[in-house]
Structure 1
Amino acid sequence: MQETTSPSPTLRLPVGLAFFCFVLIGTNDGVNGVLLPSLNAFYAVGYAVLGLLFFVSSFGYFLSAISSGFLTQRLGLRGILLLGATAFLIGILPFGLKVPFVLLFPARLVFGLSVGLLETGLNIYITTRPRSTLILNYLHAFYGVGALIGPATATIILALQWGWNSVYLLLGGVDLLLLIGFGIFARPIQSARLEEKASTTENVLSVTLKLPVVWLITFFLLVYVGIEVSLGNWAYSFLLGSRHIAPFLAGWIVTGYWSGLTVGRFLLQNIAERLGLGTKGLIYLCICLVGVSLALIWLIPLEFIAIIALFLIGFGLGPIYPLTIDITPKLVPAHLGASAIGVLVSVSIIGLAVFPWLAGVLAQFVGIWTLLPYSLILTLVMLVLWRVLVVAASDSSKL
């Protein structure tokens, strides 16, 4: 169970900046789906080519996250956050300025780097704070808030006929405020230190990758991301094609899934602390809730079951990612915590790409109904990996 002491007042503003940053990242992800048709119409390149932009962005994210241990040693957390916010601005402005399409590829690479730096840096920062488990849940919940705000913001701007690029200019302006905030108020972030320092000659990443516990946590998170994104991407198609639910209602049911994810991150850790439930027990409970809810939708083809169960799936999935990030520095030597978090965050990108693709292959060649048994099998794999991790951890009381 985590400490019950609250952060001192001098730390509240930096934590608020972290929340603000995750709202911005979530908002950016949320606007993409709404703006894709406008981008396609303006550049006339086709969705297949547009999709390459996301591949480039993911590659940039991977590079930044995997090198976070090295960058943390060289720049410190304040330097990483300032670099990330600056790169965000550099990566998003070309979209706002409607530059030639070929220039969007390096811009998107820089943008992916920026998001990886910001997410990894802030995850590392929060893990050093009192009551880190609770705050990490809030941090990732604010990403969900941004993801819900994004589509509405883009839709309103398009309806006002301000131009699709105005959305990116708005995001760039908000990021500029964030950059100024980090520049002025990031002193407490800079003072956040892990308990031990590595030798400057040590290859931190190499040492981290040799730890079996890091690979266990990484594979666990990889599968988690696969479940979350596969359901998020394909649930709408499942509700239409397998349950024959009206498009409008199906859209709201999927919104309920993402809302459940956000609400779960805000509420479940608080409830667990009040009940004296530790991270180990909470993750077991969350995985079981996801599995039971998936089975309900699969076996009982009723609309109200889909509405309730998809919300509960999101609710159960919500805390798992931040809880996993939080326990990582506790299971490795202190000076390797930043590098371990970087490995987790970067490899999760693979799960984001591979598992939804496999779900799509099954949907095309077998049927969209396969989404639920597919997700249920992944949930069982996640449960097994969590059990192995609990047994293998040298000090499972930290879970």
Structure 2
Amino acid sequence: MPNNDSSTSSITESTSLLGSERGAKADPKAESWSDLKPYIWPLISSNIITVMAGLNDGTFGVMIPRLKEHYDISNSTVSLLFLFNAIGFFISGFLNGFIVKHIGQRATVYTASISLMIVYLFALTGQRFEIMLGLMVFQGGSISLLDAAVNVYTANVPMATLMLNILHANYGVGAMISPLVGTAFLVRNITWRAVYGFLAGAAFLNILSVMIGFSGTNMEQPNEHEIEDDDTDELPKARIAIPSHPIRNSVTLLSAGYILIYVGVEIIMGGWGYTFLTEGRHGDKEMMGHVTAGYWAGLAIGRLVLGYLAGRLGEKRTITALTITGGVVLIIFGYAESIVIDSIALVTIGFLIGPMFPTTISLVSQLLPRHIHATSIGFISAIGASGAAVLPYGAGLIADQYGILSIPLVCFVMLATMQLMWTFVPNPQTINI
């Protein structure tokens, strides 16, 4: 650990994206809060970025009814916003490694942050629906690049599992704030465009945070040949072979698929869940906006509480237990006609599924060598996060065809698919060294 009086250059080295202080098999029990001192400002900025991402994703739910009314469109048509958002996620997911290689990780974060604010400023003007669809591509792409960057950085600092859960808990905080702000605007008949004004202001503060937090921080991936021997010593003997291209790695592909479905469940429940409660169960719009905020609060608390337990009790068994329990609560959510029970169930689902994303990223960082973390975790985050767009679009089509009450069944099938995939993810605790 660097001395507090170290020069700027040594501080920069110590806060490197994939610095030598933390290996793929670093012992979390040997790390302490004092080890995080050189990483404080980049971590603060990373957490603000995830709050921004949460603000972005949490907005859709309360805006769906107003957008349908403004543009006079159906559930399936408004779902195109999710689809075009997904296109941006997919493009960024495949180009993330290329972009980072050519302009650097820090420049990528700067560019994506500025792009996001520009998107909100255009949306603030209330463009035609076709133009809004185009803006969604850039919005999804920007969020994808930011999400990938902060996940890669945080996965490689001391106490990474806890830091990842805090990072993703703050996503839940942002997603909790958005429904409250959006509902406050909409119930007072303030135009939906004001929500984008709020997001543009938040995006500006995010840019300032990025400029301060990542100033002087070396976020670049180390050269593979510089650490190849070190990786060889750290990796378990039974670890899977790493192909020439890290995206073709089975752990990378399996984890990306798992996270894609997970984020789909997360956003469907947080987005269409509001429509389910207001249109399907005829709940009060303002109160259901608060329930939606409670769902995101549950997500944030779950990532802190259950994420900590996952690190202590074992990631594999903890996530399995949470998935099964979440499935049971989803059944209650779908069949109970009481608005009170449904509201409690929605918040509970958020609490149970909360730690799944950060726990998976932590697991991957233990399974894969450091020199492919930037590409692999970046790909998982970007492609996985596209589930926030493409799967809610599909859910909208199903809701249009079979009714909004079909949403819980859709999420139940997705959870079951996740559990099936989870059984094939290796457990680093059982790999022989």
TM-score range, shorter chain: 0.7 to 0.9
Structure 1 pair 221–125 and aligned structure 2 pair: CA distance change class (3 A) = same
2:57 and 2:267 in contact (8 A); partners too: no
Distance 1:373 1:102 in 2: 31
Distance 1:158 1:233 in 2: 16
| Partner residue, 2:302 | 264
Structure 1 pair 121–156 and aligned structure 2 pair: CA distance change class (3 A) = same
One-letter identity of the residue aligned with 2:384: S
Structure 1 pair 191–26 and aligned structure 2 pair: CA distance change class (3 A) = closer
Distance 1:357 1:368 in 2: 13
Distance 1:198 1:5 in 2: 27
Structure 1 pair 283–177 and aligned structure 2 pair: CA distance change class (3 A) = same
Shift of 1:80: 1.6
One-letter identity of the residue aligned with 1:378: M
Deviations 1:281-333, CA, capped at 9 Å, x for gaps: 32123213212323444576655543443332211100101111222233233
Distance 1:112 1:367 in 2: 27
Task: Kindly indicate whether residue 267 of structure 2 is the aligned counterpart of residue 229 of structure 1.
Answer: yes
1:11 and 1:188 in contact (8 A); partners too: no
| Local SS of the residue matching 2:425 | helix
Segments of structure 1 that go 5 or more residues without pairing to the other structure are: none
Residue among 178, 187, 190 paired with 1:150: 178
Query: Counterparts in 2 of 1:1-399, with a 5 A limit?
Result: 2-3=28-29, 4-6=31-33, 7-34=35-62, 46=73, 52-97=80-125, 104=132, 106-156=134-184, 165-187=193-215, 189-191=217-219, 193=221, 196=224, 207-236=245-274, 238-239=276-277, 244=281, 246-247=283-284, 252-273=290-311, 276-297=312-333, 305-349=341-385, 351-360=387-396, 363=399, 370-390=406-426, 396-397=430-431
Distance 2:188 2:346 in 1: 33
1:13 and 1:185 in contact (8 A); partners too: yes
Task: Say how many residue pairs are matched.
Answer: 388
Shift of 1:174: 3.3
Shift of 1:238: 4.8
Structure 1 pair 235–101 and aligned structure 2 pair: CA distance change class (3 A) = closer
Distance 1:162 1:373 in 2: 34
| Local SS of the residue matching 2:28 | coil
Shift of 1:259: 2.6
Distance 1:101 1:238 in 2: 24
TM-score by length of 2: 0.74
Distance 2:307 2:137 in 1: 35
Distance 1:239 1:162 in 2: 22
2:82 and 2:389 in contact (8 A); partners too: no
- State the identity as a percent: 29
Distance 1:38 1:360 in 2: 15
Distance 2:283 2:187 in 1: 24
Structure 1 pair 296–197 and aligned structure 2 pair: CA distance change class (3 A) = farther
Between structures 1 and 2, the one with greater helix share: 1
One-letter identity of the residue aligned with 1:258: W
Distance 1:32 1:221 in 2: 20
| Local SS of the residue matching 1:306 | helix
| Partner residue, 2:21 | none
2:82 and 2:388 in contact (8 A); partners too: no
- What is the CA RMSD across the aligned residues, in angstroms? 3.8
Distance 1:38 1:374 in 2: 24
Segments of structure 2 that go 5 or more residues without pairing to the other structure are: 1-26, 228-241
Shift of 1:182: 2.3
Higher relative contact order (CA 8 A, sep 6+): 2
2:115 and 2:142 in contact (8 A); partners too: yes
2:269 and 2:346 in contact (8 A); partners too: no
Shift of 1:186: 1.0
Bigger mean CA deviation after superposition, 145-154 or 2-11: 2-11
